[in-house]
Structure 1
């Protein structure tokens, strides 16, 4: 049986798709690998060198005078500058400007007759003819080649942080209703704009399309003031889940209506006419026919809306608050990093933990994504 050869165009398409897949996958792979590496090795080299040894400059402070022992006429302080972590010392020094002033195994002459010897395995020997004095020990700067080291410490730090579980539940409490509510409202509106003629329908659709370009930051403060005024009038607290659900619904409705309207308008007209001939109302047509046939479009919008609400921090802080009981996952992870970037090594672990849920949602619904986005691009109502 003869097989059909691929044309140059097909080969180019396949190569382009493969390139796009690689470009989209590499950052995620980099985040995963970096999140599993040791803190010091993250600084020393990129994630693509994770399986090879890395060379890095470090500083070790020897024990103080309390750790000295007398060996004949000498007073000695010993230890290991690698602290049992493994690796090979290539050079050492007493200044941060010259971490390789002496080769491993050599002996350096220090002040007041003190001598320092550092071996390749990290063992050091600090000697003096007189007693060591002072509480702080000698600083030893060194360059070492260390083998690859992987650890789960970054994940333990994030997952064991106080309030992380509560923040995870807060994000789910925000994201799930903020995804479902706009879909329900937009589906009804999209059906009306597609199949129910009424005065001003085209103008209303143009307004909805125009709302797609309104920046979130421009409408956030007016929306918050309006919500607070209504809350004061009816005696409703300002920081509630209802407020953030309504905010996300308002920001998500224009895109949802636009996508769903294009899809619903592309459904066969014969099905609608047959249902009306049989005496079905618009509500029954919508529930029994339109919704089941619109699942691809509903799923594609669900992906976008869930990703937006899950990763959101600004709207959550404004409408929900920043207290320990209200803080969402993204806000909790930002607090873990600190205002000055402390514990920065947990950044990649935090990022990977954050994207796990959106990635699961995407893989569950991804087969409907392209079909829903392309719906109505050729044929419209």
Structure 2
């Protein structure tokens, strides 16, 4: 897209809504406008909704194919930026049943999301999106029925071209939509035989999902929000398959079993009074070990997941014992006594504890000393 204002006289603007953000698209000519209106048919809104729209100008130098891809990329990014901090955004395609239950199939870019969306929609599920499933903390899903990139003549190895869901005859999902199932797509990898769905341990599923999100750490309670939503879906499942067409019936049945009453895995938020002021630094002043600020933390069984900035860190076993002990700012000797009380004595306890403390410090979840404003540390030096 061009950043310069290029007004094409006589071409009526096209208003398109993406994840709640309205854009006014200025096409080069009527032919291009007609093409874009066809591709974005389910996102087009009327003039009344475009009062505060963002202008997008298409450069004369783009081919139809280039204009379509560039426009989809820009509109998607604008929508994601607008929803950061309010929605959990999954890199996923979304399909819906007749009751508005949404199946989110998560995968990295180029891993078959569009093919999965197209195949399952043609089997009768409503087309929600092939790009980004935006989920509110309540579980409500924002539809994003963008164009799909499809090879027109696959047998001849033709190029991909953008087609609107109406062009392709894909079913329209009902409203409202609600997240009911989350599936990680894992294609190939030597898999043979029928496709299979397998539940992942809750922490494994959470950590596998996080890299396929956008701006997760901008949520007020990122890990807690993700855990609450995933628990409501029965956790994360993995689909191992070769061809998505072989998994259609399996996935439809799986979605139909989601009734909102699926018992979710047990988890709980970890709340602690930990300094979060960005002006705080750490000084070795009293030879004690303390927790460092973190974005969010949750306990799942005997494991803890801590988010530091936007990085999730998994802590369990001895590491969890030490991390929890650091809430009271202990010395190393006091940590040793706590570990012995809970885990028993060990001839190499000192070395093991030192190595575990060093690992937690390297991960950025604990630190020596006490938090102090930077100005105080400068004076101390």
- TM-score under structure 1 length normalisation: 0.20
- TM-score under structure 2 length normalisation: 0.20
- Between Structure 1 and Structure 2, which shows a larger proportion of strand residues? 2
Which structure has the greater CA radius of gyration? 1
- Between Structure 1 and Structure 2, which shows a larger proportion of helix residues? 1
